[in-house]
Amino acid sequence: MNLETIKNLQTSLKALENQLINHQQNRAVVENVEGQIASLKGQNDFNLLQGIKKNLELLNGAFCDEKGLGKLNLMLHNAKIPPKYYDIFYAMLAQATPPPPPCQTPLCIDCGAHAGLISDIILHCGGRVECFEPNIYLNFFLKRKFENNKNVKIHQKAVSNKAGKTQFLTFQNRILSQGNRIVESVQDSETSGAYEVEIINLCEFLEQKEERIYLLKLDVEGAEFDILPHLIEKRFYEKIDFIVCETHEYMFENGYEKLEQIQKELQKRGVKNVFLDWC
Protein backbone atom coordinates (compact mmCIF):
# COMPACT_ATOMS: atom_id res chain seq x y z
CA MET A 1 0.00 0.00 0.00
CA ASN A 2 1.32 3.45 -0.93
CA LEU A 3 0.24 7.04 -0.27
CA GLU A 4 -1.55 7.37 -3.63
CA THR A 5 -3.63 4.26 -2.92
CA ILE A 6 -4.65 5.60 0.49
CA LYS A 7 -5.64 8.97 -0.98
CA ASN A 8 -7.73 7.31 -3.69
CA LEU A 9 -9.52 5.20 -1.08
CA GLN A 10 -10.14 8.28 1.06
CA THR A 11 -11.70 10.07 -1.93
CA SER A 12 -13.95 7.11 -2.68
CA LEU A 13 -15.03 6.77 0.94
CA LYS A 14 -15.81 10.48 1.08
CA ALA A 15 -18.01 10.10 -1.99
CA LEU A 16 -19.79 7.16 -0.35
CA GLU A 17 -20.25 9.17 2.84
CA ASN A 18 -21.80 12.06 0.90
CA GLN A 19 -24.14 9.65 -0.86
CA LEU A 20 -25.33 8.19 2.46
CA ILE A 21 -25.83 11.63 3.99
CA ASN A 22 -27.89 12.75 0.99
CA HIS A 23 -29.86 9.46 0.85
CA GLN A 24 -28.63 8.71 -2.66
CA GLN A 25 -28.35 5.24 -4.22
CA ASN A 26 -25.67 5.43 -6.90
CA ARG A 27 -24.46 1.85 -7.23
CA ALA A 28 -21.30 2.95 -9.09
CA VAL A 29 -20.00 4.74 -5.98
CA VAL A 30 -20.48 1.62 -3.86
CA GLU A 31 -18.88 -0.61 -6.47
CA ASN A 32 -15.90 1.73 -6.70
CA VAL A 33 -15.24 1.38 -2.94
CA GLU A 34 -15.81 -2.37 -3.04
CA GLY A 35 -13.43 -2.72 -5.98
CA GLN A 36 -10.64 -0.79 -4.25
CA ILE A 37 -11.02 -2.81 -1.04
CA ALA A 38 -10.99 -6.08 -3.01
CA SER A 39 -7.88 -4.94 -4.88
CA LEU A 40 -6.10 -4.10 -1.62
CA LYS A 41 -7.05 -7.46 -0.13
CA GLY A 42 -5.80 -9.26 -3.23
CA GLN A 43 -2.50 -7.37 -3.10
CA ASN A 44 -2.16 -8.10 0.62
CA ASP A 45 -2.82 -11.82 0.04
CA PHE A 46 -0.25 -11.86 -2.78
CA ASN A 47 2.36 -10.12 -0.61
CA LEU A 48 1.67 -12.59 2.21
CA LEU A 49 2.21 -15.56 -0.09
CA GLN A 50 5.37 -14.02 -1.51
CA GLY A 51 6.66 -13.47 2.03
CA ILE A 52 5.94 -17.08 2.96
CA LYS A 53 7.69 -18.29 -0.19
CA LYS A 54 10.76 -16.16 0.53
CA ASN A 55 10.92 -17.34 4.15
CA LEU A 56 10.71 -20.97 3.06
CA GLU A 57 13.51 -20.42 0.54
CA LEU A 58 15.67 -18.81 3.23
CA LEU A 59 14.95 -21.60 5.71
CA ASN A 60 15.77 -24.20 3.08
CA GLY A 61 19.03 -22.44 2.24
CA ALA A 62 20.01 -22.18 5.90
CA PHE A 63 19.22 -25.84 6.54
CA CYS A 64 21.31 -26.99 3.59
CA ASP A 65 24.16 -24.52 4.16
CA GLU A 66 24.36 -24.07 7.93
CA LYS A 67 27.90 -22.74 8.02
CA GLY A 68 27.83 -20.77 4.81
CA LEU A 69 25.91 -18.25 2.75
CA GLY A 70 22.51 -19.93 3.19
CA LYS A 71 22.54 -19.45 6.96
CA LEU A 72 23.98 -15.94 6.58
CA ASN A 73 21.18 -14.81 4.26
CA LEU A 74 18.56 -16.03 6.73
CA MET A 75 20.30 -14.18 9.58
CA LEU A 76 20.49 -10.96 7.56
CA HIS A 77 16.78 -11.20 6.72
CA ASN A 78 15.84 -12.01 10.33
CA ALA A 79 17.78 -8.98 11.59
CA LYS A 80 15.91 -6.78 9.08
CA ILE A 81 19.10 -5.44 7.56
CA PRO A 82 18.43 -3.58 4.28
CA PRO A 83 19.66 -5.78 1.39
CA LYS A 84 21.81 -2.92 0.06
CA TYR A 85 24.05 -3.44 3.11
CA TYR A 86 24.46 -7.19 2.77
CA ASP A 87 27.81 -6.66 1.04
CA ILE A 88 29.29 -5.31 4.27
CA PHE A 89 28.98 -8.80 5.72
CA TYR A 90 29.79 -10.68 2.52
CA ALA A 91 33.05 -8.72 2.36
CA MET A 92 33.79 -9.57 5.99
CA LEU A 93 33.85 -13.26 5.04
CA ALA A 94 36.78 -12.58 2.73
CA GLN A 95 38.62 -10.51 5.35
CA ALA A 96 38.17 -13.24 7.94
CA THR A 97 39.73 -15.91 5.69
CA PRO A 98 43.41 -15.77 6.62
CA PRO A 99 45.94 -16.04 3.80
CA PRO A 100 49.54 -16.86 4.81
CA PRO A 101 50.54 -15.32 7.13
CA PRO A 102 47.32 -15.45 9.23
CA CYS A 103 45.50 -12.12 9.39
CA GLN A 104 43.60 -10.70 12.35
CA THR A 105 39.87 -11.27 12.26
CA PRO A 106 37.78 -8.11 11.69
CA LEU A 107 36.82 -6.21 14.84
CA CYS A 108 33.27 -4.84 15.09
CA ILE A 109 31.55 -2.70 17.73
CA ASP A 110 27.84 -3.40 18.28
CA CYS A 111 26.27 -0.51 20.21
CA GLY A 112 22.73 -1.28 21.21
CA ALA A 113 23.26 -5.01 20.80
CA HIS A 114 19.76 -5.85 22.09
CA ALA A 115 19.33 -9.64 21.64
CA GLY A 116 22.60 -10.00 19.74
CA LEU A 117 21.25 -10.57 16.22
CA ILE A 118 23.88 -8.37 14.56
CA SER A 119 26.61 -9.85 16.75
CA ASP A 120 25.50 -13.32 15.64
CA ILE A 121 25.96 -12.27 12.02
CA ILE A 122 29.40 -10.81 12.72
CA LEU A 123 30.48 -14.06 14.35
CA HIS A 124 29.07 -16.11 11.47
CA CYS A 125 31.19 -14.01 9.11
CA GLY A 126 34.34 -14.73 11.12
CA GLY A 127 34.58 -11.43 12.95
CA ARG A 128 35.11 -10.42 16.57
CA VAL A 129 32.64 -8.17 18.35
CA GLU A 130 32.38 -5.97 21.40
CA CYS A 131 28.73 -5.56 22.44
CA PHE A 132 27.30 -2.61 24.34
CA GLU A 133 23.87 -3.14 25.88
CA PRO A 134 22.72 -1.41 29.10
CA ASN A 135 19.47 -3.37 29.45
CA ILE A 136 19.91 -5.67 32.48
CA TYR A 137 17.37 -8.18 31.19
CA LEU A 138 18.82 -8.45 27.69
CA ASN A 139 22.27 -8.90 29.20
CA PHE A 140 21.07 -12.16 30.72
CA PHE A 141 20.47 -13.53 27.23
CA LEU A 142 23.65 -12.03 25.78
CA LYS A 143 25.78 -13.60 28.49
CA ARG A 144 24.09 -16.95 28.10
CA LYS A 145 24.62 -16.83 24.33
CA PHE A 146 28.21 -15.62 24.29
CA GLU A 147 29.81 -16.37 27.67
CA ASN A 148 32.06 -19.12 26.24
CA ASN A 149 32.87 -17.35 22.99
CA LYS A 150 36.36 -15.86 22.95
CA ASN A 151 35.41 -13.62 20.01
CA VAL A 152 32.78 -11.71 22.00
CA LYS A 153 33.20 -9.13 24.75
CA ILE A 154 30.05 -7.89 26.44
CA HIS A 155 29.82 -4.45 28.06
CA GLN A 156 26.72 -3.92 30.19
CA LYS A 157 26.88 -0.20 29.51
CA ALA A 158 25.27 2.50 27.42
CA VAL A 159 27.26 4.65 24.99
CA SER A 160 27.16 8.43 24.79
CA ASN A 161 29.42 11.47 24.37
CA LYS A 162 30.32 11.40 28.06
CA ALA A 163 31.09 8.91 30.82
CA GLY A 164 29.33 8.38 34.13
CA LYS A 165 25.97 7.04 35.26
CA THR A 166 22.45 7.85 34.17
CA GLN A 167 18.88 6.57 34.22
CA PHE A 168 17.84 3.96 31.69
CA LEU A 169 14.22 4.73 30.83
CA THR A 170 11.66 1.96 30.25
CA PHE A 171 9.29 2.64 27.35
CA GLN A 172 5.61 1.67 27.75
CA ASN A 173 6.44 -0.69 30.62
CA ARG A 174 8.16 -3.10 28.18
CA ILE A 175 11.41 -4.19 29.78
CA LEU A 176 12.81 -5.63 26.54
CA SER A 177 11.60 -2.84 24.25
CA GLN A 178 13.98 -1.30 21.76
CA GLY A 179 12.42 2.02 22.78
CA ASN A 180 14.19 1.95 26.16
CA ARG A 181 16.77 4.73 26.24
CA ILE A 182 19.04 7.10 28.17
CA VAL A 183 17.91 10.36 26.51
CA GLU A 184 14.89 12.56 27.16
CA SER A 185 12.43 12.65 24.28
CA VAL A 186 8.87 13.39 23.24
CA GLN A 187 8.07 9.85 24.37
CA ASP A 188 8.76 10.67 28.02
CA SER A 189 5.04 10.61 28.80
CA GLU A 190 5.07 6.91 27.87
CA THR A 191 8.02 6.16 30.14
CA SER A 192 6.96 4.00 33.06
CA GLY A 193 10.15 3.44 35.04
CA ALA A 194 13.91 3.60 35.09
CA TYR A 195 17.05 2.16 36.65
CA GLU A 196 20.63 3.34 36.87
CA VAL A 197 23.18 2.25 34.25
CA GLU A 198 26.78 3.06 33.47
CA ILE A 199 27.60 5.06 30.35
CA ILE A 200 30.90 5.37 28.51
CA ASN A 201 32.28 8.03 26.21
CA LEU A 202 32.28 6.13 22.91
CA CYS A 203 34.89 8.35 21.25
CA GLU A 204 37.30 7.81 24.14
CA PHE A 205 36.68 4.05 23.92
CA LEU A 206 37.41 4.04 20.19
CA GLU A 207 40.55 6.13 20.62
CA GLN A 208 41.99 3.40 22.83
CA LYS A 209 41.69 0.83 20.03
CA GLU A 210 45.02 0.42 18.25
CA GLU A 211 43.70 -1.83 15.48
CA ARG A 212 41.42 -0.74 12.67
CA ILE A 213 37.70 -1.32 13.25
CA TYR A 214 35.72 -2.93 10.45
CA LEU A 215 32.17 -2.03 11.55
CA LEU A 216 30.61 0.30 14.10
CA LYS A 217 26.86 -0.19 14.51
CA LEU A 218 24.76 2.35 16.41
CA ASP A 219 21.19 1.58 17.41
CA VAL A 220 21.04 3.60 20.61
CA GLU A 221 17.53 5.06 20.70
CA GLY A 222 18.30 8.76 20.22
CA ALA A 223 21.76 8.91 21.81
CA GLU A 224 23.21 8.86 18.27
CA PHE A 225 22.55 12.60 18.05
CA ASP A 226 24.93 13.12 20.99
CA ILE A 227 27.52 10.73 19.58
CA LEU A 228 27.67 11.30 15.82
CA PRO A 229 28.81 14.96 15.84
CA HIS A 230 31.83 13.97 17.94
CA LEU A 231 32.58 10.92 15.80
CA ILE A 232 32.55 13.14 12.72
CA GLU A 233 34.57 15.94 14.33
CA LYS A 234 37.26 13.46 15.38
CA ARG A 235 37.23 11.89 11.88
CA PHE A 236 36.56 8.34 13.05
CA TYR A 237 35.16 7.63 9.60
CA GLU A 238 38.82 7.49 8.51
CA LYS A 239 39.64 4.83 11.11
CA ILE A 240 36.52 2.66 10.70
CA ASP A 241 35.57 0.91 7.47
CA PHE A 242 31.80 1.16 7.95
CA ILE A 243 29.66 3.17 10.37
CA VAL A 244 25.96 2.28 10.27
CA CYS A 245 23.28 3.94 12.36
CA GLU A 246 19.55 3.62 12.91
CA THR A 247 18.37 7.16 13.58
CA HIS A 248 15.46 8.06 15.87
CA GLU A 249 14.66 11.60 14.81
CA TYR A 250 10.97 11.06 15.66
CA MET A 251 11.90 11.03 19.35
CA PHE A 252 12.65 14.77 19.36
CA GLU A 253 10.76 17.93 18.48
CA ASN A 254 13.79 19.05 16.45
CA GLY A 255 14.89 15.55 15.47
CA TYR A 256 14.67 16.08 11.72
CA GLU A 257 16.78 19.23 12.02
CA LYS A 258 19.37 17.27 14.04
CA LEU A 259 19.50 14.61 11.34
CA GLU A 260 19.74 17.16 8.54
CA GLN A 261 22.69 18.88 10.22
CA ILE A 262 24.57 15.60 10.46
CA GLN A 263 23.77 14.73 6.85
CA LYS A 264 25.02 18.13 5.67
CA GLU A 265 28.25 17.78 7.64
CA LEU A 266 28.93 14.35 6.14
CA GLN A 267 28.21 15.68 2.67
CA LYS A 268 30.48 18.67 3.20
CA ARG A 269 33.33 16.39 4.22
CA GLY A 270 32.67 13.96 1.37
CA VAL A 271 32.16 11.03 3.75
CA LYS A 272 30.95 7.90 1.95
CA ASN A 273 31.14 5.19 4.63
CA VAL A 274 28.67 6.52 7.21
CA PHE A 275 25.13 5.24 6.61
CA LEU A 276 22.19 6.75 8.50
CA ASP A 277 19.38 4.59 7.10
CA TRP A 278 20.28 1.34 8.85
CA CYS A 279 17.16 -0.78 9.53
- Condensed to tens digits (0 to 9), the pLDDT of residues 29-47 reads 888 888 888 888 888 888 8
Please enumerate in sequence order all residues whose Cβ is within 8 A of that of 131, keeping only pairs 6 or more positions apart, or say none.
110, 113, 116, 119, 142, 146, 152, 153, 154, 155
Distance between CA 269 and CA 160 in Å, rounded? 23
Average pLDDT over residues 79-92: 93
Q: Is 100 exposed, middle or buried (0-12, 13-18, 19+ CB in 10 A)?
A: exposed
Cis peptide bond N-terminal to 229, omega within 30: no
Residue 252: DSSP 8-state: S
- pTM for the full predicted model: 0.82
39-53, 109-123, 164-178: range with lowest mean pLDDT: 39-53
Q: Write down the mean pLDDT value for the chain.
A: 90
pLDDT above 80 for 184: yes
Q: pLDDT tens for residues 3-27?
A: 788 888 888 888 888 888 887 778 8
Distance between CA 110 and CA 107 in Å, rounded? 10
pLDDT at 97: 61
Q: Which residue(s) pair with 214 in the sheet?
A: none
pLDDT at 153: 97
- 118 or 31, greater pLDDT: 118
CATH number for 68-275: choose from 2.60.120, 3.40.50, 3.30.360, 3.30.70: 3.40.50
Average pLDDT over residues 111-133: 95
Average pLDDT over residues 87-113: 80
- E strand residue ranges, the chain: 107-111, 128-132, 152-155, 158-160, 164-171, 191-201, 213-218, 240-245, 274-275
pLDDT at 55: 87
Average pLDDT over residues 211-234: 96
